[in-house]
Structure 1
Amino acid sequence: HSLATLEGATTTRTAAPAYVAEVFDELADSFEEKLVEHLEYRVPWQLVDALEKLSPPGFIPKDSTFDPRWIIADVGCGTGLCGRLLRPHVKHIIGVDISPLMIEKTRADGSYDELQTADIVPFLESCADESLDLIISADVWIYVGALEQVFELSARKLRAYTGWMAFSIELLPATIEATEDDTGFRLAPSGRFQHSHEYITSLAGRSGFTVAAQQNISVRKESGEPIPGRIYLLLLSMSR
């Protein structure tokens, strides 16, 4: 992965799982402090806020007297920021991360009903069809690149007509997008993947999703400068 970045590779389609696991094992103890306090990372809050504003059926408001019903998967859960924010709204939270040390940090918090150390695709393959109400991934696709398999599996594992995807991307700059090949994503010099809006919306449509909400955001800051990104809420609008 590092060599591909140094060489400016445009054909790399995903980060090696072992590389991602090693990176996040090393970051586990200081992950939240570095991201939230120093880099002004707010993606989990932005995603949950978007869900609260949209208020899809079954997503229980904090002050509701109804019992939560949603079963959700937080893929790439890290230290559990999304789980803590989603806990009042949903019935059952499955946290998935490739880093064993991240999972142990999350376990200590107690916000999740299940925790699994796994890569995203094998986890989704293990889920029963139409068993999930929401698949959320905060700042995760920057390590994945090609998202076709993730979207196809998500469409199968979410409940038909009522299932949701909520996620963020780091935006591919328009100046680069116009000169790159037609993949819709690239491995940036930072070592993270950037995706184009057109790639996401095209993939969503082909996979049976409707874009219900989207918002430009700053994913984090680097050297004091905001990194442009976007969050999406996608509704599974057809049966697979």
Structure 2
Amino acid sequence: MSLTTTVRTSGDFRADHRYEYARAAFDERDFEAAADLARQVLELVPGFAAAHAMLGRSLAELGAREEAVAALRQALSLEPEDAMGVRLDLARLGALTPDEAMTDGYVRALFDDYAPKFDQHLTESLAYRGPELIAAALRRACSEQIRDDRFGQTLDLGCGTGLMAQELAGRCAAIEGVDLSPRMLEKADKTKLYDALHEGELVAFLSGRGTGEADLVVAADVFVYMAALDAVFREAHRVLKREGLFAFTVQTHEGEGYILGEDARYAHSETYLRGLAEHEGFTLVIFERVSTREDRGVPVPGFLMVLQR
């Protein structure tokens, strides 16, 4: 169970002070102290969602599942958009299905908070190379098909700070990005590589695009924040022109379908991805095992796919 780093206030100085002590105790794995301090905060400010979340997470670590679920549900009722990621905790406790675990509000808050240190943390701490791998795979795909390694209209799903556009610079006639996080989009805009940037959810973004308008759709490590990918595949196929390419990376697991992993990211199986591609009428161009990042120094297993309409 993890805590968001966004500064939260109850409006009461004493309560805020105790809440910060609770956060510190939780981080030091003193969960009994964290739970006790969270209760003290709630005596002062009963409607403070963050304290309910702290209490629930601390109780979960102490093995008090039913009490933890009750506290977490109270936090969620007070903050339905779930910027704190309480649904993830409820899913881990079996109180929600994996499909219900992640909201747009959580992803937006996560990346708004992450934006200032995003590029440096990814490339230096996590050895991230998703965009680099996708760009290289597209070169190989074009070479194998004896086609020009240049693209017309390109749509960058979950564009973040613009790392994918940097890898594709000079290879796209036009590129547009979409992301939930306004702070990430601010950084993407500074690259001066995008013809347009859109704030919003990516399936809704695709649904609003014209049929057959795109030559390339890319998604670098975006689907780890999505459970079912059926709608994405369907809309990507629709917006692509004939022989257009859909390239993306995912985390994977060895079972069936998709799961919510311990790292609070979704992992999709090979059979699930192949089945979706076939169902939507894509032709498989490249399907390979890759690792786009590390977790505590260990490569995270994943797939890279390039599909053709």
TM-score scaled by structure 1?
0.87
Measured in 2, the distance between the counterparts of 1:189 and 1:226 equals 15
Note the aligned Cα RMSD (angstroms).
1.5
Measured in 1, the distance between the counterparts of 2:141 and 2:212 equals 22
1:13 paired residue among 69, 92, 99: 99
Stretches of structure 1 lacking an aligned partner (at least 5 in a row):
61-68
- Which SS does the other structure have where 1:136 is aligned? strand
- Which SS does the other structure have where 1:40 is aligned? coil
User: Which amino acid in structure 2 is aligned with residue 2 of structure 1?
Assistant: L
Partner of 2:194: 112
Tell me how far 1:219 sits from its aligned partner: 2.2
Preserved CA contact (<8 Å) 2:91 2:97: no
Partner of 1:150: 232
Partner of 2:137: 50
Partner of 1:203: 276
- Which SS does the other structure have where 1:219 is aligned? coil
Q: Deviations over 1:146-205 (max 9, x none)?
A: 001111111111113x11110001011x2xx1xxxx5x0011111100000110000000
Measured in 2, the distance between the counterparts of 1:191 and 1:150 equals 20
Pair 1:33 & 2:84 matched: no
1:1-240 residue pairs with structure 2 within 5 A?
Answer: 1-7=87-93, 11-13=97-99, 15-55=102-142, 57-60=147-150, 69-160=151-242, 162-172=243-253, 174=254, 177=255, 184-236=257-309
Tell me how far 1:145 sits from its aligned partner: 1.2
Measured in 1, the distance between the counterparts of 2:138 and 2:170 equals 13
User: Which amino acid in structure 2 is aligned with residue 59 of structure 1?
Assistant: D
Measured in 2, the distance between the counterparts of 1:204 and 1:148 equals 9
Measured in 1, the distance between the counterparts of 2:128 and 2:200 equals 24
* Greater helix share, structure number: 2
Rg comparison, structure with higher value? 2
Measured in 1, the distance between the counterparts of 2:111 and 2:258 equals 23
Tell me how far 1:209 sits from its aligned partner: 0.4
Measured in 2, the distance between the counterparts of 1:26 and 1:204 equals 34
Tell me how far 1:53 sits from its aligned partner: 1.6
TM-score scaled by structure 2?
0.68
Measured in 1, the distance between the counterparts of 2:307 and 2:213 equals 17
- Which SS does the other structure have where 2:273 is aligned? helix
* Greater strand share, structure number: 1
Measured in 2, the distance between the counterparts of 1:164 and 1:9 equals 39
Q: How many residues align?
A: 219
**Relative contact order (alpha carbons < 8 A, sep ≥ 6): 1 or 2 greater?**
1
Tell me how far 1:3 sits from its aligned partner: 1.9
- Which SS does the other structure have where 2:154 is aligned? strand
